Amino acid sequence: MAETLLAILFVTTSAKGSSLVYRWPPSPQSSPRLSRARLTHETCCASQLDNPWRASHFSDATADTIPRIPKPASDADDDYQWQRPDAYRDQSLSPSGSNPASGRSSPTKEVRYGLDDPETLYEYDHLFGYSSEFLASLLCPQLSMCHQKFELLVDGLAFIGHPVCAEEDGEWRFKPEKSKMGSRGREARNGQSPHNEGRASASPDRHATPEKVQIKASWLHTFHFVMVLDIPDPSSSASGNVSRYFDIIYEQIAFTVTAVLFQEQVLCNFVEEECDRLGSLKDTCISKGEPFSSYVNQALEVSSIAPAMKALYEAIKSSYMAYITIHNLPLEIQLPPYLDVLLHSEAEPETDFINQTDDDESQIWGPEMSFGWRLPVLTPWKSLLLLDGHNGLDPHMNLKGGHVNPEDRTLVEGLIRFLETASVTLSLADMAGLLDWDLESQVIPTVRWLVQHRRAKIVDIVHAGLKTVFTLPPKFDRPLSELTAEFASEFSHPSIPPLPQILSTISTAISKQSDNHFFASVVQSKELIPMYHDVVLWMLKRDMLITLHLRVRVVATRQLKIRVRYERDQARARKAGGTTDWERSALRHELEVDDIDGYDPSSIPWLALSPKAARRHSRRQSNESLRSQISELVIKESEDEGGGDDGNYEKRTTDEDTSSGLDDPSSGWDTAEDFLGPTMISDPGRATPLQRRWLAAMSEGKAPLLAKRFQLINQYFDGKKTDDEILYRAGITRKQLREVLHHYDEYLQTFLHPS
């Protein structure tokens, strides 16, 4: 919204008529638009007037080299420039006796025309080419259209707000709540208000029912807090997202501010008193002949609404959170950080999370944080980085003061405990265990509140010993020179090198096969770990580091497939009741081996092989070596059938598994899947029957406990789940995971990738 917001208006109506009470900025200007670039003979020859390249780059020329374009001499030239209809209005029109902002006693024409300068009078009574009275009447609809969303598009401008009014008897009172309706007057999603967190709510002594509180205003009928936007150019924005863009602005800003103003008007006639004060000041400035800027500046001193409008406008234009106060009620208002990016995106207006999981865990953020936030998935294996002391946000701010209500004391103390426990070295699940909190009902809502109010951000877990592999983002949000100077002032210890040197070390460490984590490449000393923890936090707060996670895939190698096929043939022969002809079986496998001898190992993609398999294929085993392996299988089969079983539990289990469903059409045998080249098992959790035989064969000869653990966790070896997720879902330690990766290294492909 930083690029489209033009002004914030506050308009009212009374028995005297409509009035524009206050606006910010004082003189808003809409962005110019051209239907096409208009070139003259002075800039280029006539034959090149419509040259597409010159037309598209005409605006890039400097002001000194572009002659002033005269007013079109004929209607034929009007198509070069697009102008708003108000631009053709007579700018010298004198004010037409519009009503004073207070709506009470109307000054005489002599007082209203105390100014001698027509331009100053025009600035008081006109905005965007409209008279203030006409604009106010346009923005304050009939009573039947109040208490609902207001959206008006006219002359390339969008006016968005939520007008409210007094009852027909002139009394201001709360509207009775409707069933299944949220605080925004529209049906809430999942039975809750779509934006019920982070909103200013009246304290218990300020709550009142419609029967107990009602203020009879002497003159105020309607007021409207309006956001004025420049309608995005259809050629530069995704039309499908514009309506959603307007909805977010309405929900996050217009409705929130209006709800607080309406509450205070009902409780203590606050809005009418503010309008009286501002209206009297405006009439006084006009009668004294003071310029409009004088009235605007004085209003900031005498009013609560005026400075709030100014602070809100400046925060939105700067893409920061707005901290405003209305009648001693603090408000924190913001728009999604990437709202303008959403406006220009051609993608469908769906949730824009970095990672989406199959079980749709991203929806845990809620609908109000689904658009324009670009948040990572909020999962138990993620961590939380507090932004205290960064960007002026302090999570402990105003939490320990004595102004907290007694009934909220427990919640505040719990939040303080959470902030003291939170660390990037702990996962959200770990924090829940340490605090003895429920993860879903206590930890997750707390994290949502902190992230929504920009007091924290979701990050990946950082190893306590800094043995985390980092890489650098494609670009930084700020110039490197600024970051370097800030880093030097923050970390002056001689053991810490300059920021560019650290960045260079991180970028080169990722190419190493080992010792590529932050400790081995940068820290290199256990005594410096606490100091470098602060360095890592400093860089994470500025989005200068990306955590790389270990991911695992399973590969069924050629040798494994040969062994499984041989065992399948032996089981089929035993099932048929015949004797096994070891020599013929070996000969058949030799022929199969001969069939694949022409298979060029160099043509196998290295990513499809485990390290051991890649080295093995690079040496290309000979036929004699494979025949020797088959002979060993035949001899082992002979010993097992002769009663020489020495308690090989894993082998018996494999035989039983391979012997079942040998002739089942769904078994996978004799299909396109049944070939002797290496195969990547893309989703072990949904493995086919043949893939399950391969997975079971991988555990032959392994210790029973290790084989059971591999059977438990290989469902997560799909290349998508990170090591942190595997540890959480499988409930194992990092040491146990390393043990599995080591013993099954022949069949596993590991790689590093961002989460």
DSSP structure string for 657-669: HHHTTTT-GGG-T
Name the residue type at position 449: W
Q: Residue 171 has what pLDDT?
A: 86
Specify whether 619 is located in the same domain as 676: yes
The string of pLDDT tens digits covering residues 229-278 is 988 766 655 555 788 888 889 998 999 999 999 999 999 999 999 999 99
Q: Residue 52 has what pLDDT?
A: 59
Specify whether 400 is located in the same domain as 262: no
The string of pLDDT tens digits covering residues 373-408 is 888 888 999 999 998 654 434 444 455 544 556 667
Report the percent of the chain where pLDDT is more than 90: 36
**pLDDT tier for residue 321 given thresholds of 50, 70 and 90:** confident
Per the model's pLDDT, the better-predicted residue between 711 and 665 turns out to be 711
* 536, 462 contact by CB (below 8 A): yes
Find out whether the peptide bond into 754 is cis, omega within 30 degrees of 0: no
**pLDDT tier for residue 506 given thresholds of 50, 70 and 90:** very high
Give me the half-sphere count of Cα atoms (radius 13 Å) on the Cβ side of residue 405: 9
Gyration radius from the chain CA atoms: 36
Q: Residue 390 has what pLDDT?
A: 41
Average pLDDT, the chain: 75
Q: Residue 51 has what pLDDT?
A: 57
Specify whether 324 is located in the same domain as 433: no
**pLDDT tier for residue 210 given thresholds of 50, 70 and 90:** very low
Instruction: Kindly state the tokens that stand for 659.
Output: 């012997």
Report the percent of the chain where pLDDT is more than 70: 63
The string of pLDDT tens digits covering residues 423-481 is 999 999 999 999 999 999 899 999 998 998 889 999 999 999 999 999 999 999 899 99
Specify whether 527 is located in the same domain as 605: no
The string of pLDDT tens digits covering residues 98-107 is 455 555 444 4
Specify whether 289 is located in the same domain as 143: yes
Is pLDDT at 308 greater than 60 in this prediction?
yes
Per the DSSP assignment, residues forming a β-bridge with 324 are 331
Residue 351 lies in a domain: no
Domain end point (choices 485, 514, 544)? 544
User: What is the rounded average pLDDT of the residues 709-729?
Assistant: 94
Cβ within 8 Å of residue 728, ≥6 positions away: 380, 381, 427, 429
Give the separation between CA 273 and CA 217, rounded to whole angstroms. 10
Triad 599, 602, 603: Cα angle to 5°:
65
User: How many separate domains does the chain show?
Assistant: 5
Specify whether 571 is located in the same domain as 669: yes
Specify whether 18 is located in the same domain as 147: yes
Residue 657 lies in a domain: yes
* 754, 547 contact by CB (below 8 A): yes
The string of pLDDT tens digits covering residues 134-178 is 888 889 888 888 999 999 988 788 999 999 998 888 888 887 765
Give the separation between CA 48 and CA 44, rounded to whole angstroms. 7
Specify whether 606 is located in the same domain as 700: yes
Is pLDDT at 651 greater than 80 in this prediction?
no
User: What is the rounded average pLDDT of the residues 290-318?
Assistant: 91
Q: Residue 58 has what pLDDT?
A: 55
Range of the domain at 598: 553-754
The string of pLDDT tens digits covering residues 472-497 is 999 998 999 999 999 999 999 999 99
Which sign, positive or negative, has the C-alpha torsion 715, 719, 723, 729?
negative
Give the separation between CA 519 and CA 480, rounded to whole angstroms. 23
Which sign, positive or negative, has the C-alpha torsion 417, 419, 424, 430?
positive
Specify whether 523 is located in the same domain as 561: no
Number of residues that make up the chain = 755
* 613, 555 contact by CB (below 8 A): yes
Give the separation between CA 377 and CA 714, rounded to whole angstroms. 23
Residue 354 lies in a domain: no
Cβ neighbour number for residue 688 with a 10 Å cutoff: 15
The string of pLDDT tens digits covering residues 563-596 is 888 888 887 777 776 545 544 454 455 444 444 4
- DSSP for residue 753: E
Q: What is the largest CA-CA distance in the chain?
A: 122
Specify whether 398 is located in the same domain as 494: no
- DSSP for residue 661: T
Specify whether 386 is located in the same domain as 436: yes
Per the DSSP assignment, residues forming a β-bridge with 227 are 8, 160
Residue 702 lies in a domain: yes
Specify whether 51 is located in the same domain as 21: no
Instruction: Kindly state the tokens that stand for 305.
Output: 């609404």
